[in-house]
Amino acid sequence: MSGVLEVADAFDLIVLDAYGVLHEGAGAHDFALTAFQALREIGKKLCVVTNSVTHAPEEVAKRLTDMGFPIGGRDVISGRSLLPWFLRFHREGRGYAVLGYHPDVVAEAFPGTRVGSFDRDDLDAAAGFILVDTNMWADGTPEEVLFESLTANPRPILVCNPDVTCPYQGALSYEPGFFAFRLAEALPELDITFLGKPYPAIYDLVSKRFKGIPRDRILAVGDSPHTDVLGARGAGMKALLVESGLLRTQDSAQRLMECGIEPDFISETI
């Protein structure tokens, strides 16, 4: 029996991380397909809470459905799901530059914003920034130019993916959180808002979408101690850490001891 099925009785809603739990890019994990279907069969409510933000939640839902995890667009929640709410505190993003792999789609969804680039003049002209992803940050240039522009004139940044790293093609990638935390350290006065896991707003949105389910009847399944476990436990939910993703090649007990983060449950896979 899979890890989640062993403990599922105690929960009404299972919050699933995608990358590292259900799949790792190319294809679905077979054990995850089995567990997902079994959870549905025993009547558990399921949602996916992901820090994958390059694509909108509806597109992530479609991709997961195509992989064999049938799920509706409303049941996929990411940092992008929070943008409408947070932009209220940022003049609806008026004059903000969107930085990411597909900035046009986000800029179209929020008419006050515009597509950004790493041209220094273009960065200097922005009222603030929506950092969607850092997929194209192949060398140090984007970080350097953004740093220079923000040093000269600090402006707010909304970071849609707080992840520092994630397993990618046999190595570990640098994710937006990595750069944003460096910016925060170098420019402590900078107004940075993180929109995904492990910050509380995304869990509040889960509770809003699944009204009436007490937090202690919600189980989050994830492969990252700092993202999935810390976030869920901080939000009053229970957490199951799977060793199939980020920690696959590591001594997970040792890593957990080092960071002092304790999941409620641990299993090899979902």
Cβ(45)–Cβ(13) under 8 Å? yes
Of 11 and 19, CB closest to Mg ion: 19
Tokens representing 241 are: 């850490």
Tokens representing 101 are: 């792999």
Of 25 and 72, CB closest to Mg ion: 25
Residue of 133, 163, 175, 223 that binds Mg ion (CB under 5 A): 223
Q: Which residue in the shown chain puts its C-beta closest to Mg ion?
A: 20
Amino acid in position 234: G
Peptide bond into 111 cis (omega under 30): no
State the Cα–Cα distance between residues 270 and 268, nearest whole angstrom.
7
Q: Is 243 in the site for Mg ion (CB under 5 A)?
A: no
H or E element in which residue 142 lies: helix 141-152
DSSP secondary structure letter of residue 225: I
Residue of 4, 8, 17, 149 that binds Mg ion (CB under 5 A): 17
Binding segment (CB under 5 A) for Mg ion, from list 4-12, 38-46, 54-62, 219-227: 219-227
Of 116 and 263, CB closest to Mg ion: 263
Of 17 and 175, CB closest to Mg ion: 17
Q: Is 220 in the site for Mg ion (CB under 5 A)?
A: no
Binding segment (CB under 5 A) for Mg ion, from list 11-19, 81-89, 194-202, 205-213: 11-19
Distances from the Cα of 256 to the Cα of 30, 119, 250, 270, angstroms: 26, 41, 11, 18
- Nearest distance, CB of residue 94 and Mg ion, angstroms: 34
Q: Which residues of the chain form contacts with Mg ion (CB under 5 A)? A: 17, 19-20, 223
